[in-house]
Amino acid sequence: MLKDTLLKSGYQVLVLRIIGVAFVTVLTWLMTKLYGATKYGDFVAFSMCVQILSMLAVLGLDQYLLRELSRDSTKNKLIGWSLLVCLLSSILWTGIFYLLNGYIQFLDPSLVKMLGLSTFMLGLIRIIAESLRSKGKGLLHTTLSQFLLPLFSIILLLIFYYLLDELSTVSLEQIYYLSLIIVGLSAGILLAIYLPHRPKLWPSSSGQIIQQSLPFLWLGSMLLVNEWADKICLKTMRDSYELGQYSLANRLSQFIAFPLMAFNIGLAPKVSNYFNNSDIASLRSTVRKISRPAFLLALGILAFLLLFDDFILNFFGHEFIEAKMVLLILGIAQAVNVFFGPVGVLMKMTDGVKMFQYIILIALLANVVLNIVLIPNYGINGAAMATLVSICLINGMAALWIKKKLGFFSLAIGKWND
């Protein structure tokens, strides 16, 4: 029964994610066709800054709420307090970035003005989406975190395209900024409807809560920086043109991981409950029953991308054909990621948060060093190879910890999974 429920929920979320990915694909196609690789690369750099700053601004409270609200519904009152913390933290981190950007010139100064509100809105979306996820509302979580932002971005881009004589007067960053505001307001409405509560703006246990959420912050920050290390290095060591090429191939390769991500939506609260109740047998059974279908779906997506790579890349523009090898390398990396199963969820929702931090730190250091060494000689292909090594390190070390701590491997196939 549990397997059927999880699989049904996972497949429903997967279908919604596929629709969301379709919107992202259309949006990416419009961006690359209308603005080109260089402008698309500039947009990737801006969105990267927003995501990193919002991760810092949230302080790990989104993951804390995911874990705690699934165990105790009386803690709903902490959502409002978390949003207040996110607002104050967004102001702080944006100010710090503004000062640093004056020296490193990572973004155009005109774009920094949009960072503050963008950071808070994305942080708000993260907190509310994970709160909905903690209550088993995986479809709403996916709608909010994966579906609405590309949808409204497409709508705004098309509106500006048909209303303006020169589309260049509106940047991709401005479209992203407006879309974040719309989705942020939508998140507030969903919060009021599905998680009504009387917020406690500053609980007496605030210090203790932040102390418990900080491991999630460090972990999330390292995961995000590790994910973006290749793009940061390409932006600083190459140019926006190559960053645009690489980012498109990277986005396409992430299709492969969607089946596992879809199952993870419903899995996370259950992992927390099983572990909290010391029911390792049910945890083991549940993980194993979703690992194989996720991997088989991932293999199908990988095969499709590799068989039609020329057509797919050329669809976004002839200048992206040069990223063909990147798509191959990153596709293999994502297949490896899915093969190892939901190692991240298992470690974050049990006692493995601290150990996962060390694992990510090791992978991050390796990723940065390899990017610095490989990019000057191999360009975007070197960045892809560094990412492949990083993903293998994370999954391999995490799988060994899970075997030692929980007593089983989460691999999709193989005798180690018997």
Give CA 413 to chain center in angstroms. 25
Q: Which pLDDT does position 305 carry in this prediction?
A: 93
Question: Burial of 259 by CB count in 10 Å (0-12 exposed, 13-18 middle, 19+ buried)?
Answer: buried
Q: Which pLDDT does position 71 carry in this prediction?
A: 66
Please report where in the chains the tokens 């596709």 appear, as a residue: 331
User: Each residue's pLDDT tens digit in the chain (418 positions)?
Assistant: 444 555 455 556 667 767 877 888 899 999 998 898 889 999 998 998 999 899 889 888 888 887 777 666 666 778 888 888 899 999 999 999 989 887 777 788 888 889 999 999 999 999 998 888 887 777 788 888 888 999 999 999 999 988 887 777 899 999 999 999 999 999 999 888 887 766 555 665 777 778 877 777 877 777 778 888 899 899 888 888 999 999 999 989 988 988 887 777 667 667 767 767 776 777 777 778 777 888 889 999 999 999 999 999 998 988 899 999 999 999 999 999 999 888 877 887 777 777 888 898 899 999 999 999 999 999 999 999 999 999 999 999 988 888 887 777 777 665 545 4
Rounded Cα distance between 288 and 357, Å, is: 24
Q: Which pLDDT does position 393 carry in this prediction?
A: 94
- Helix residue ranges per DSSP H, 343-352: 343-348
Count of the separate structural domains present in the chain:
1
Q: Which pLDDT does position 354 carry in this prediction?
A: 78
CA dist 18 to 11, 256, 261, 324, 409, Å? 10, 11, 11, 23, 28
Parent domain of 307: 2-417
Give CA 54 to chain center in angstroms. 12
Rounded Cα distance between 173 and 109, Å, is: 13
Rounded Cα distance between 237 and 370, Å, is: 13
Q: Which pLDDT does position 2 carry in this prediction?
A: 47
pTM: 0.77
Q: Which pLDDT does position 3 carry in this prediction?
A: 47
